[in-house]
Amino acid sequence: MSTPAFVVIAEFQVKPGKLGAFLEAARDDAKHSVADEPGCRQFDVVCLEGTDGTVVFYEVYDSRAAFDAHLETPHLERFRQAFPPLIVEKRRVRFAERQNP
């Protein structure tokens, strides 16, 4: 049996009128995470239906160590610099283990 993947779920409430800029920064982080990090299996940027600017990141890594390596990347630093003026709040990041392949 394989080791469960490490899942990160991050949620942001984006300011009105700032969704486009937020998504541009988020897509850059997601694209580089998947392309440049061997331990990143998946990085989805999701806009929740029925909400006004709620964006969720669903990230899947090989392990906690792979996620920890993500925290040190230049593309994440770009995102960290870009998003604060674009959001109302950043909600608590949640962690989970994915049980299916």
- pLDDT, tens only, 34-77: 999 999 999 999 999 988 899 999 999 999 999 999 999 999 99
Every domain of the chain and the residues it spans: 5-90
Choose which CATH entry (3.40.50.10320, 1.10.1040.10, 2.60.120.10, 3.30.70.100) describes domain 5-90.
3.30.70.100
pLDDT computed for residue 99 by the predictor = 87
> Residue 57: which of 22, 88, 20 has the closest Cα?
22
Q: Does residue 37 sit in helix, strand or coil?
A: coil
CA distance 16 to 7: 28
pLDDT computed for residue 90 by the predictor = 87
60: number of Cβ within 10 Å: 19
- The average pLDDT across 82-90 equals 94
Helix axes 74-82, 19-36, angle to 10 degrees: 170
pTM, full prediction: 0.92
Tell me which H or E stretch contains 27.
helix 19-36
Q: Which token pair is 97?
A: 């283990």
Average pLDDT, the chain: 94
pLDDT computed for residue 1 by the predictor = 47
